[in-house]
Amino acid sequence: MTHYFVLIVLLFDCRAFGPKVINLKPLLKKLPGMTEDRDKGVREETKKLMVELYRWLGPAFKPQLNAVKELVVKDVETEYEKCKDKPVVTRYLRSQQAKKEREADEEGNEDEADAAGPEEDAGPEVDPFDLLDPVDILSKLPKDFYEKCEAKKWQERKEAMECLDSLITANPKLEPGDYSDVVRTLRKMVSKDSNVLVVALAAKCMAGLANGLKKKFSPYAAHCISTVLEKFKEKKPQVVTALREAIDNSFVATSLETIQEDVIGALNGKNPQVKIETNAFLARVFSKTPLKIMSDKKLMKPYFTAIVANLNESDPQVRDAAAEAFGVAMKHLGEKAVSPLTADLEPIKLAKVKEFCDKAVITAPKEKVVKQAPPPKTAPAALKGAPSKPAGTKPGGPAKKAPPGKKLPVKKDYDDDYGLEAPESASAAATPEEVDDDGVTRVDISGLITEQLLNELGDKKNWKTRDEALDKLRGLLNKHKHITVNLGDLPTALAQRLQDSNKNLANSAFLVCQNLAVALGRNAKRHTSTLAAAMLSGLGDSKVYCNNNVL
């Protein structure tokens, strides 16, 4: 009878709180056996629980029925089809209630009712991928897999790809491991194989690997995207479809900043087919990219400039693809924000962009707005007859002056649209903050990394100028202990200093990189591809202290 009462409690919890409060993985493993229990009450309650989980998870629950007898599956699906009402959360854990109260306070009284209402959580999403157990497919590859991939007969190469594809299809969630040899083989087959069927299968396997590893695919993602962009010159539909899936799945493990050079190179290339598919890829990416990243001028302006150039191409398909990509960006950012880039566009082309803008659907997650701290209260008016004090003067002390070479922030209106740079004073005055997933408040210092600072860091004539720029960076990182990932062109400029001919400067640059990694936290890996090569070159330095700093 213990199982019976446990099932009743689980069913109640699932109906009231939703499936997120239950650890589903061990439960789903036990359910098939419970459908064959000797106790009829246990069997019936198990079916009811399965129907309830089916309501919450939808089609994602169907693979979990594979181990259940066909008769039971039929009964569950019949009951599921009768349930037309969408499940809603009716009760909340204390932790969830506290979170909702905080959100209601931040959003104001106007949204408080919505935050407390059950309709808001009309179905908390459970990723079906999380319910799967990861599988190591590397150990299951045939011993002659790599030999067949190099075979002269295309049938043998195709057989090797089919074997890998069947393993990935049967095990959609993959155990992290060293997939470098597999990925290298797939990239080679995608880029160089002469057989269309083999290329399509290799691209499909690449997509499956990226999907099965998710973020763990990051060491290979940028290289795979580069290979796919080059192969987009292929026009065969079956190949193009597989390449699209491969590039979309690979992008999940990387970022617009990491692939910027390869993508812009493809947009500026000569092949129209490559331009069409690259613009289409960007349209899909832009629709899923958070507003904060899309609003990063230093990152996005090169993308937008290359897309606008494609709007003036002679090929109508290229123009349409570029119009779609730019239309999605316009929908995301607003027409005013991108207006400087469209000023010289012909009316007919601008109308096409706006047409795609109207059709665009933005699926990017909404970001939490961090409330700014209220301004300090003004001091009470001075008594009559008392001498007025200069602003910033503390009782019993003189007024503070700005340090030499540093201006006090001055409020000034300026156009923050794409194509126009903000004055240094305005950029320095604002340091937006955001709270990451770990609850750490991080400061966006991209506005403080000015063009002048980057120029000083790259000064080729005077080593003292470069040294002063590194000191400014060190001071900036000492002031802001936790920063966001938005650094503009700073990683590229730092990579050059890591290989500076002046060893003392190179050593200082390594120390700055240490501080930068600490300030970025786990986001530091986003800039590894830019800095790693320059860092590794320091290991060959004859000076011990340089080697130690690299390590």
- The pTM (predicted TM-score) of the whole model is 0.58
Q: What is the pLDDT of residue 549?
A: 55
Q: Is 537 exposed, middle or buried (0-12, 13-18, 19+ CB in 10 A)?
A: middle
**Count of H helices and E strands in the chain?**
26, 2
Q: Please state, in angstroms and rounded to a whole number, the distance separating the CA atoms of residues 140 and 180.
A: 16
Tokens read off for 279: 């613009």
| DSSP-assigned beta bridge partners for residue 441 | 435
Residues 130-183 pLDDT 10s = 767 788 999 999 999 999 999 999 999 999 999 999 999 888 889 999 999 999
Q: What is the pLDDT of residue 128?
A: 67
Q: Please state, in angstroms and rounded to a whole number, the distance separating the CA atoms of residues 16 and 391.
A: 58
Nearest to 440 by CA among 516, 520, 372: 520
481-508: b (≥16 Cβ within 10 Å) or e:
ebbbbbbbbbbbbbbebbebeeeebbbb
- Amino acid residing at 392: G
Q: Please state, in angstroms and rounded to a whole number, the distance separating the CA atoms of residues 362 and 357.
A: 10
DSSP state of 135: B
Q: Is 279 exposed, middle or buried (0-12, 13-18, 19+ CB in 10 A)?
A: buried
Q: What is the pLDDT of residue 188?
A: 95
Q: What is the pLDDT of residue 412?
A: 40
Mean pLDDT by runs of 10 across the 551 residues of the chain is 76 76 73 81 84 76 74 82 77 71 60 42 57 86 94 94 93 90 95 94 96 93 95 94 96 94 94 96 95 92 94 94 95 89 88 93 74 50 43 45 46 43 41 66 81 83 83 82 81 83 80 82 75 68 54 49
Residues 349-398 pLDDT 10s = 999 999 999 999 999 887 655 545 555 544 444 444 444 444 444 444 44
DSSP state of 499: T
